[in-house]
C-alpha cells in the first residue's frame, strides 16, 4: 500500500530466502502466493539498515515478539521518524497495548506513534480490492502524515484521535472471531454467528470505555467494520483457527493447520486479565480462554454464553 501510494519501501524480514524473493522477483510466495509486489519494494535482513533513513516505520510482527524485535532498534531511527503499529494484540505479562510497547521500547513520545486498524484482510488488499481503514494517533499531524502515505485508489484512510479505542478493537475482535470460528466448526449457523458478533462488540465497547476510549469508535471501521470482516472471512486466521478447534483439533494442531499468526491465541488471556482487573464482564473472551487453556469442551461454549442471567440488552457496564 505504501508503494502504491508513491513511497519508497524497504521490507525487513528474518528469512533470507523470503527477502531475496521480494528484492529480486518482487514476490512473496510464502505469505502472498500469486501476488506481484510493486517494483519499488525492496527487502533486507538488516533491520537497522531498513529503518536508518525511514520517515515512517511500519511494525507488522506478532504482538508477543514485538518488544524483543524492536529493542535492537532503539536509537537507530531518524529524529523525525514516525512508527506505525499494524499489530493486533495485548502484551502478555504487562497487558500493554502495542502502541505502548512501541513507545516504551523505542523511547518515543506518543506523538510519534500511530496505529492502523480496520477491515483490512491482507489478501484482499494485495489484490487491490477497495477498503478503508483508521489511522489513530495522539498527534493529528502524525495521523495525517500516515494517512497521506497509504492513501490510494483502493485504500481510503480515515484519521481518529482515539488510539485506545482503535487499538482495543483491533486486538479483541480477533478473540471474538475465534469464538465465531469455534461455533461454526461445531456446525452452528448464522444466528449464532450474529449473536456472538453483536455481543462481542458489546464486550469490546465495555473494555474500551473503561480505559477511556471514545464511544464513536466502536460502531465505526475499526470496531464493527473490522469485527465483521474478521468474523466472516475464510482469509481470517483467527476465524480459521477457531474452526479447526471447533472440529475437534487440539490447540497445537489447530495452530499448525492454520499457518501464520492467529493473534487471539496469545491475546485472549491478557485481555481477560485486563478486564478482570477493571471489573469488566467479557463472557465470550472468558469462554475462549477456557476452551483454549482450561479444558472447556467446545460443545459447552455456546450454551455457556446463553446460560448467563437474563437482563435488558440496553443495560450498560
Residues designated as active site: 173
Q: Is 158 annotated as a binding residue?
A: no
Q: Is 250 annotated as a binding residue?
A: no
Q: Is 173 annotated as a binding residue?
A: yes
**Cα 116 to Cα 83: distance, rounded to the nearest angstrom:** 11
The dihedral sign for the CA sequence 174, 260, 65, 120: negative
Q: Is 236 annotated as a binding residue?
A: yes
Q: Is 238 annotated as a binding residue?
A: yes
Q: Which residue has the cell 488510539?
A: 163
Q: Is 293 annotated as a binding residue?
A: no
Q: Is 111 annotated as a binding residue?
A: no
**Cα 165 to Cα 226: distance, rounded to the nearest angstrom:** 13
Q: Is 75 annotated as a binding residue?
A: no
Answer left, alpha or beta for residue 96, where phi above 0 means left and psi between -120 and 50 means alpha: beta
Chain-centre distance for alpha carbon 246: 22
Q: Please check whether residue 195 is in contact with residue 304, taking contact to mean a CB–CB distance below 8 angstroms.
A: no
Q: Give which of 187, 210, 180 is closest to 305, Cα–Cα.
A: 180
Q: Is 152 annotated as a binding residue?
A: no
Binding residues for NAD(+): 122, 237
Binding residues for NADPH: 14, 31, 88, 122, 237, 263
Binding residues: 14, 31, 88, 118, 122, 173, 226, 236-238, 263
Binding residues for sn-glycerol 3-phosphate: 88, 118, 173, 226, 236-238
Binding residues for substrate: 88, 237-238
Amino acid at each position: 500500500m505504501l508503494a502504491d501510494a508513491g513511497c519508497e519501501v524497504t521490507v525487513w524480514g528474518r528469512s533470507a530466502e523470503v527477502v531475496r524473493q521480494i528484492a529480486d522477483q518482487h514476490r512473496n510466495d510464502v505469505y502472498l502466493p500469486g501476488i506481484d509486489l510493486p517494483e519499488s519494494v525492496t527487502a533486507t535482513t538488516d533491520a537497522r539498515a531498513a529503518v536508518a533513513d525511514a520517515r515512517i516505520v511500519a511494525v507488522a510482527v506478532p504482538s508477543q515478539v514485538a518488544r524483543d524485535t524492536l529493542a535492537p532498534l532503539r536509537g537507530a531511527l531518524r529524529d523525525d521518524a514516525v512508527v506505525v503499529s499494524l499489530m493486533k494484540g495485548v502484551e502478555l505479562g504487562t497487558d500493554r497495548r502495542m502502541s505502548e510497547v512501541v513507545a516504551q521500547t523505542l523511547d518515543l513520545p506518543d506523538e510519534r506513534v500511530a496505529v492502523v486498524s480496520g477491515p483490512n484482510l491482507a489478501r484482499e488488499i494485495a489484490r487491490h480490492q477497495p477498503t478503508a481503514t483508521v489511522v489513530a494517533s495522539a498527534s493529528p499531524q502524525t495521523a495525517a502524515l500516515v494517512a497521506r502515505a497509504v492513501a490510494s485508489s483502493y485504500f481510503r484512510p480515515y484519521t481518529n484521535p482515539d488510539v485506545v479505542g482503535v487499538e482495543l478493537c483491533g486486538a479483541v475482535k480477533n478473540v471474538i472471531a475465534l469464538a465465531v470460528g469455534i461455533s461454526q466448526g461445531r456446525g452452528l449457523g448464522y444466528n449464532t454467528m450474529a449473536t456472538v458478533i453483536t455481543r462481542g462488540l458489546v464486550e469490546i465497547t465495555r473494555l474500551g470505555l473503561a480505559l477511556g476510549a471514545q464511544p464513536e469508535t466502536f460502531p465505526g471501521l475499526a470496531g464493527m467494520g473490522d469485527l465483521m470482516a474478521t468474523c466472516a472471512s475464510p482469509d481470517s486466521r483467527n476465524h480459521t483457527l477457531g474452526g479447526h478447534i471447533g472440529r475437534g483439533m487440539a490447540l497445537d494442531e489447530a495452530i499448525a493447520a492454520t499457518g501464520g499468526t492467529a493473534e487471539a491465541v496469545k491475546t485472549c488471556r491478557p485481555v481477560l486479565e485486563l478486564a478482570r482487573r477493571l471489573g469488566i464482564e467479557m463472557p465470550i473472551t472468558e469462554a475462549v480462554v477456557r476452551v483454549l487453556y482450561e479444558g472447556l469442551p467446545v460443545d459447552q461454549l455456546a450454551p455457556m454464553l446463553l446460560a448467563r442471567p437474563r437482563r435488558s440488552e440496553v443495560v450498560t457496564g
